[in-house]
Every structure is written in C-alpha cells, then in structure tokens.
Chains A and B, each alone.
Chain A
Amino acid sequence: MSEVTKKVDARGSFCPGPLMELIKAVKGSQVGDVIEVLSSDAGSAKDIPEWVKKMGHEMVYSEKEGDYWKIAVRKMK
C-alpha cells in the first residue's frame, strides 16, 4: 500500500464538502503525493473517483470503515 502523504478529515463536512477539501489538498501537494480523505458522505465514494478520473489523477483505494469512507488519491500531474 502506498504511503499516505497527507490526511484530510472531512467527516461531517457538507459545505464545501469532502471533494472540495480533497481538491484543496491536491492543489497544495506534489506530483506523486498520496492524499487520504475521510468522508461520512456516501456520495464521496462516487464523486471522488469521477473527479479523479476526469482530472487524470489515480485512485489508490476506496473503502468503507464503519460509518465513513476512507479514500486515497495519488496526484499525477
């Protein structure tokens, strides 16, 4: 498993929301960094992979842990 460079706890975030928190973290990271976001919003499991694919980054994992999701993304460009 890749080493997580940055963790973002976006549980309980409705606005701006976990994906926007992830975008903020990706912007402030280096190419190759892995950002892990925690989200209590079920929509993140769909929203985040869609955005990642569209922007040309890479999904590392997306898994449910109890009542939240743990999703990691590698910045590719």
Chain B
Amino acid sequence: MAKRIAILGGGTAGTTLANRLARQLSHEIRKGEAEVLLISNTDRHIYQPGYLFVAFNEKPLDHFIRPQKSLVHRLVTMVYDDVEKIDVEKKELLSKRNRYAYDYLVIATGSYPDFDAVPGMKEITYNFYTPEGAEKLRDRLATFEGGKIMIVIDVPHKCPAAPLEVTLMLDDYFRRRNMRDKVELLYTYPIGRIHSLQPVADWALPEFEKRNIQYETYFNMESIDPEKKTVNTMDGAEHPFDLLISIPAHKGAPVVLNSGLGDESGFIPTDRYTLKMVGHDDVYVIGDATNLPISKAGSTAHYESETLTHNLISRIRGLPETKLYDGRVACFLENSLGDASFIIFDYNHPPKPADTSELIHWFKAMYNELYWLTARGLM
C-alpha cells in the first residue's frame, strides 16, 4: 500500500513541494510505495509578484499565468477539487464529491486579501493583490491626470516589502511620463518608521526625501469614507485622497477557517523549525498558511519546501527527520522601474539591504521569468 503524501493547495508552496518530492521519490512512486497527491482548487497558476508589474503596465497579466498542468511533474497525482474540510483526526480531506485519505498532510492553502476588514475599503480602493485589482489599478494609473495618491496599509499582509516598492515605483512611473509634478504621493505606515525592518526603513527614507515622497507614520486606519474620499484613522483624523491604493489585511483560506484549525485570522499554529502543525506529527504547514512571524512571500515557501522535501522523503524511507527550517527569507526591493536592492535574512540574522543597482533590478526581471523553474522544483 502506497504511503500517500497529500498536499492541499497548488500555489508556489504546494506546487514546488509536490514537484520536488515527485522527482526525488520517483523510485518509490514507480514501485507503488509512495504517492504525491496535489489538490488545487484552480487549474491556473499565477506568479503573484507579477501583479506589481501589471499595475505599471510593464507586462500583461497573462504573462504571469500558466496552466497548472504545464508545471506539474508526471509522477504527481494532480487533482482539481474544492476541499471544504480538513479532518486531522480521521486523516482525510473532504470535498463535495470526494474523500481523500492521507498518511502525511501538507497544508499549503495560502492567504487571501480581506477587503472587508476596513469599512469602506472595498468600495473605493485600488490594489495590486488580486489579478483583477492589478489590471484595474493599471487602467486607473494610465488615465490619472494628477492629484493625491495615498497608500494605506492594513496588517497582516503578504509581501511586507511591496508597499514601499509600489510607492517608489509610482514616483518613477510618473517621472517617466513627465507628470510627477502633478502627482502628490503620500505613503502611510502603522508604526513609527516607514518599514517594520529598521535597515529597510533606513534604505528607503533617503529616497523618499530625495524624491519628494511624503509619508506619515503611526497611521492606523479605522475606516474609509468612499463619498468624502477620506481615510479615517484611529486618532480621529480625516485624510483626503484622490486615488487610494490599499494593501489589505490577509487571512487564511476558507477551508482552514471551516475546519477550525487556525487562529482567528485562519493562520495555522506551526512549529517554526519542523513546520509541523502544533500537536500533530503527521500534518505540516507551508507558505502563507502558517502563523509564523515571518514574511508571507514566495521565497519563504521556497526555502520551507527544501526542509519539508527532505523530511518527508526521510519519513517515507523510514528514517528520522533531520532538517529544520531556519527562517530564511529573500526579497528583492524595487527602488524604481529600473533599479533595485535585495535582502536575505533568517531567524538569527537580520537583513542588510544590498547597494541599489540596475543589475539587481535586471536579476529581478530575470527571476520573473525563471520563477517557473522554482514551481517545477528545479531551482
């Protein structure tokens, strides 16, 4: 009887892990001793960092989407289904039409933007966190004739660097269109500096000052008034805008919330080193679905998949698990449409932004094309 590893979720985390496992367990899979089952609720695979480039009309949305089947290794059992319940006691996943038993489960169900978390947000806001949002923002920016653009941030959110990046890129976008003098840019952040990471705040602040990007710290949203076009903060102040770009709070997947496995936001309590769901030896969590206090980003999922691939293969082969995840995350930091910086850090080593250069931006642009090798488990 094959030992079944079920991976729920076909985003970066789930697809990368399934492909790595299938490649390295090919002998066991062919002999019928192991099975890698990947269940996704969509047959499209989206490279989400591409949204930022869609918004600035650098590339069309289609450029960042591929059919899931084109990315999945032939030894992965790929299923498209909408799982509604995870039963960790009976060790099974339930959809309307099927029941999937498993020996080991990996929950890779991601995170979702919640535009209902702040009253008024969904009525008037633009965003680059959904495919539709990125295209709508692209069209709005293309026809924007001038005024005040405000960037507001709710927590927790995916890719903590993106709010800074979009602001710096907006500055460059309007400069390149010879209309920067018609645009007022106001970036806001909930704590006392412009990014939670002190080294990243120190990297961006001189750029803000040099490029006349205004900012307001300790900015904690309470509501948005779509009629008056104001953002209302917890200190009772009203902040007017012409165009509002929101970084929405994120929450866990509906299946996690429905199964009662997560915290109040639907993120699953996860051991920071073994990536096991707390209290469950046969359930692992990877990518945005965890409650770990680290960046919800593709690179996090990528590094986590290295740990899980190794440990799951060990379990299939009857060996002890020996790899621990060290908290590694890597992020590009776009400084404009033409240059960028880069950071890498883990639980024990704080980041130090690399010198901003065109070369790093070029590497980011190349990675946007190379991503598909990551998803295939090859890089």
Binding site for B on A (CB under 8 A): 8-21, 23-24, 27-28, 43, 47, 50-51, 54-56, 77
Contacts and interface: CB of A to CB of B under 8 A. Distances in A.
Contacts of B293: 8-13, 16-18, 21
Per CB-CB distance, the 10 closest pairs between chain A and chain B, nearest first, are A12-B347, A13-B293, A17-B196, A10-B293, A28-B264, A24-B156, A16-B160, A21-B293, A54-B218, A20-B196
Contacts of A16: 155-156, 160, 196, 293-295
17 contacts: A9-B272, A11-B293, A12-B346, A15-B197, A15-B295, A15-B351, A16-B196, A16-B295, A20-B190, A23-B220, A24-B155, A43-B198, A51-B192, A54-B218, A55-B218, A56-B234, A77-B234
A72 B197 CA distance: 21
Nearest to B327: A12
Interface string B175-199: 0000000000000001110001110
A21 to B, nearest CB: 5
A15 to B, nearest CB: 5
A15 B160 contact: yes
A14 B350 contact: yes
Given A12-B293, A17-B196, A55 B345 contact: no
Given A19-B196, A54-B218, A14 B263 contact: no
Interface of B: 155-156, 160-161, 190-192, 196-198, 200, 218, 220, 234-235, 249, 263-265, 272, 293-295, 327, 329, 331, 345-348, 350-351
Contact of B329 (A15, A20, A51, A56): A15
Contacts of B265: 24, 28
B192 A20 contact: no
B173 to A, nearest CB: 25
B289 to A, nearest CB: 15
B295 to A, nearest CB: 5
B354 to A, nearest CB: 15
B351 A14 contact: yes
Given A14-B197, A15-B295, A77-B234, 15 more contacts: A11-B347, A12-B293, A12-B327, A12-B348, A13-B293, A15-B161, A15-B345, A15-B351, A16-B196, A18-B293, A23-B220, A51-B190, A54-B192, A54-B218, A55-B234
